[in-house]
A and B are shown apart, each in its own frame.
Chain A
Amino acid sequence: MDNCLDFNAPHSMGTTIVGVTYNGGVVLGADSRTSTGVYVANRASDKITQLTDNVYVCRSGSAADSQIVSDYVRYFLHQHTIQLGQPATVKVTANLVRLLSYNNKNFLETGLIVGGWDKYEGGQIYGVPLGGTIVQQPFAIGGSGSSYLYGFFDQAWKEGMTKDEAEELVRKAVSLAIARDGASGGVVRTVIINSEGVTRNFYPGDQLPLWHEELEPHFSLLDILSSPTPSPMDI
């Protein structure tokens, strides 16, 4: 069957990535699955990569392409920061990402979400999809898992959320996408960026809510069979 283990298949990050602005900063979120064909090459990847102290990027698509783009942007931004004498703005960072994506559009296959905080414009999210378009948005979603989130965000996104509301929205969204997208999975990572700094969070499956047709996890069937009031079909 064609689907079998092809270890020479390019490492793709299937992925679900999300970026949301809130009243005071941004929250970025991603799953942690990197696959080579059907094999999960890395179940705990970190797809939210630092570009500067105050700007991070969510990577999706080809693992190699997204890494090289973020490496180049980090390199250019470092020099830019030295010349400028102060932290780079989110807009400049996003445009650097755009330049690389746009000018190499025939070779690259990577969709990125740039998010950060600077003192001029506060929290900002920029989507840079395939082809190198740049679009500033109050929230952005990307990766194969994002297909399952358009309806969710249309309904759940609200202007002027607090930090905790925004983080919960991101966590819920990535978790919902993981439930339905085979190319997304693992843990949910979030990064919160605001005037105070950067906070990284990590949520394994057992800390996320259960969705439709998902069951309470157990160590073993034997525990269920031997327990006095077994109810493995709890819905």
Chain B
Amino acid sequence: MGSGADSERTLYPYVTGSSVVAIKYKDGILMAADMGGSYGSTLRYKSIERLKPIGKHTLLGASGEISDFQEILRFLDELILNDNMWDDGNSLGPKEVHNYLTRVMYNRRNKFNPLWNSLVIGGVKNGQKYLGMVNMIGINFNDNHVATGLGNHLARPILRDEWNENLTFEEGVKLLEKCMRVLLYRDRSAVNKIQIAKITEEGTTVFPPFSLKTYWEFSAFKNPAASAVGSW
């Protein structure tokens, strides 16, 4: 093992993004993530874009170390560039991008120098919708709905109950917002500034950032210790 190279390994993450949640819907893929970059428990950056279009057919969402995500974007830039240079009418779709990223992540893991991210890859090519996930140890799969981090525990149960194949855009957005709201309530590293992105056969749209209203008006919240003084 090269001793000089040791200084460049990601041993633990510094600036991290929290969950990404994504679903297949009638026309393609919908993906959501907040714009927070946490520095430990400090909510340091509040305008980090964690959803990025890749080529013509793919959308990439990332959680985990932001610097590693930026490096991955550089790799993908080169990949897409080289693909375009062939000028052969073919272009890499989400399946290919997912496969490429899986190889990158797994090989880095084998060298004990992982890219500290969980990635969501979604897209539509030739009418076929695709949604997959790959994480820092190379675990990868594809499904109708995926999430990273705490989203797996908080958002996927909601999606298992309420997802169906024929969601319209409006229904899909509402469903993702429901998941993001729960994450806002229950994930320490969540930030109330959210981006939703959609990808269809026609192309990619990353919507402008927005904030969600949260509900605090339960009467039990007003005075929770009323009948048990000193409790929480």
Contact = CB atoms under 8 A, between A and B. Distances in A.
Interface of A: 1, 4-5, 14, 32-35, 38-40, 42-47, 49-50, 63, 67, 70-71, 74, 144, 148, 179-183, 185-187, 200, 202, 204-206, 212-222, 224-225, 232-233
Contacts of B222: 202
B157 interface: no
B221 A214 contact: no
Interface residues of B, number: 46
Contacts of A204: 214, 216-217
A32 to B, nearest CB: 8
A182 B38 contact: yes
Interface stretch (B41-49, B67-75, B102-110, B122-130): B41-49
A232 B208 contact: yes
Interface string B177-189: 1000000011111
Given A38-B150, A46-B225, A49-B229, A218 B213 contact: yes
A188 B83 CA distance: 53
Contact of A70 (B44, B207, B230): B230
Contacts of B187: 38-40
A232 B210 contact: yes
A192 B154 CA distance: 37
Interface of B: 38, 41-44, 46-47, 64, 136, 149-150, 153, 170, 173-174, 177, 185-189, 192-194, 196, 207-214, 216-218, 220-225, 229-232
A181 B207 CA distance: 27
Nearest to B229: A50
Contacts of A67: 230-232
A215 B43 contact: no
Contacts of A4: 149-150
A44 B218 CA distance: 10
Nearest to B221: A44
